[in-house]
Structure 1
Amino acid sequence: MQSTKALAKLTAQIEALERRARTLRANARASAVRKIVAQMHEFQISPSDVKAAFGAMKPIRAKQKKALERPVPRRVVPEKYRHPETGETWTGRGRAPRWLAAAERAGASREQFRV
């Protein structure tokens, strides 16, 4: 019973805070619009000027988005090590391949497989 009352009280507080947040956002937006209109008057900017400038920005954003979607070409890393019998190669990056690790465990030097 008590938890139900507490939950109802919290719900009421949340709703009150959400109303207050909406009011603050609306006031901030209205203030921003007033500032924009004042600057438009000050610099003699018409709504059509703003519309043209806003429309001109869209293709730039689209181009930037396409540029970001393109995959970045990967650089080819030359091989550093080659297995003499199988011809398997390794660039020296990442974990050593099994054939090289096994050869090293058997006493071979990594330099013996250098290309």
Structure 2
Amino acid sequence: MTQDELNEILDQIRQLEALNRRIKNLRRVGRIEALEIVAELLHKHRLTPRELRSLFSTSRTVLKPLNRTRTGPKTKVAPKYRHPGTGESWAGRGRPPRWLVAAVAEGADRDSFLIANQEKCAADLANEDGYYTSQVADFPSPL
């Protein structure tokens, strides 16, 4: 290898180092611009750095909103389903009760246990005097 070839290689190394410094500087400027955009968006949408940091945490827990609208105890929900034999009821939330799971597994339609359907059936089977006929032995007595 001649001296001229070595000088040419050294010049290319210097040019490469200069390009690397320029790239590093441009990345730094780009990061600063990106941070300015993020800061502007945080301010615009009234987000806190804590909320932003929670998106990148390792625990993957999402923060609850700071201004909760609902306060106080939970309200009870009216029952939606009723067992015709025992009178047990279920609001339709959470896991279904065993009696309903068993009845559906045996082929019963879940909608047949709706309270509105039971009241309609009872009204259809009542005679003019308001008394139930013998066909409604499964329904609990209203008295």
TM-score (norm 1): 0.47
Asked which structure has the greater CA Rg, the reply is 2
More helix as a share of residues: 1
